[in-house]
């Protein structure tokens, strides 16, 4: 008998328009290649890419690299919302990405990242948060491990925001 597992859900009501860049200037703008990556608030009306270990505030849904506004590309960011679930690749522990396991129910933070301007070759990566759950402001947790995985590095999972 087939096993039920939670899958990806997107809630476009959770999307906002924002500046999308890691800083100012053309070299720091996020573009279409960055879609699907984890982001955090980095400035006035501006979201930039998360680094390893950062809390996940949202996901870059769409970056517009054609018509910048006041020196910034604009984009659509899906914010943490308990109706949003995202497919991810498990990446071990926050303190030691690439090693360790994650269990269903564990809180997660951004794992190993792909450089700005380079498209994801798979799902974005997450690590088990080693900080106490009470210390995390933007909470996401693992709700499913897919394909019979055991939570090891490289397994595919589903995370959901806890709001």
Structure confidence at residue 125 (pLDDT) = 98
**Cβ pair 74, 44 in contact under 8 A:** no
pTM: 0.90
Higher pLDDT, 68 or 148: 148
Task: Kindly state the greatest CA–CA separation across the chain.
Answer: 56
pLDDT digits (tens, 9 = 90+) for 81-101: 888 899 999 999 999 999 999
Nearest 5°: the CA angle 30, 127, 142 is 100
Using the 8-state DSSP alphabet, how is residue 33 labeled? Answer: G
Structure confidence at residue 32 (pLDDT) = 93
* Per-chain mean pLDDT for the chain: 89
DSSP, collapsed to helix, strand or coil, labels residue 155 as coil
State yes or no: pLDDT of 59 exceeds 90: yes
Rounded to an integer, the average pLDDT of 129-142 is 82
State percent of the chain over pLDDT 90: 67
């Amino acid at each position: 008998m087939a096993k039920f597992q939670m899958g990806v859900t997107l809630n476009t009501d959770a999307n906002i328009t924002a500046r999308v860049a890691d800083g100012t200037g053309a070299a720091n703008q996020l573009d279409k290649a960055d879609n699907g990556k984890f982001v955090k608030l980095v400035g006035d009306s501006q979201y930039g890419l998360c680094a390893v270990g950062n809390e996940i505030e949202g996901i870059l849904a769409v970056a517009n690299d054609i018509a910048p506004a006041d020196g910034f590309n604009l984009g659509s960011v899906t914010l943490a919302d308990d109706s949003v679930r995202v497919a991810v690749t498990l990446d071990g522990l926050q303190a030691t990405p690439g090693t360790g396991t994650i269990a269903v129910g564990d809180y997660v933070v951004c794992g190993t990242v792909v450089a700005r301007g380079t498209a994801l070759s798979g799902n974005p990566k997450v690590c088990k948060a080693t900080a106490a759950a009470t210390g995390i402001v933007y909470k996401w947790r693992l709700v499913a491990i897919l394909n019979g995985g055991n939570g090891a590095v490289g397994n595919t999972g589903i995370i959901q925001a806890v709001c």
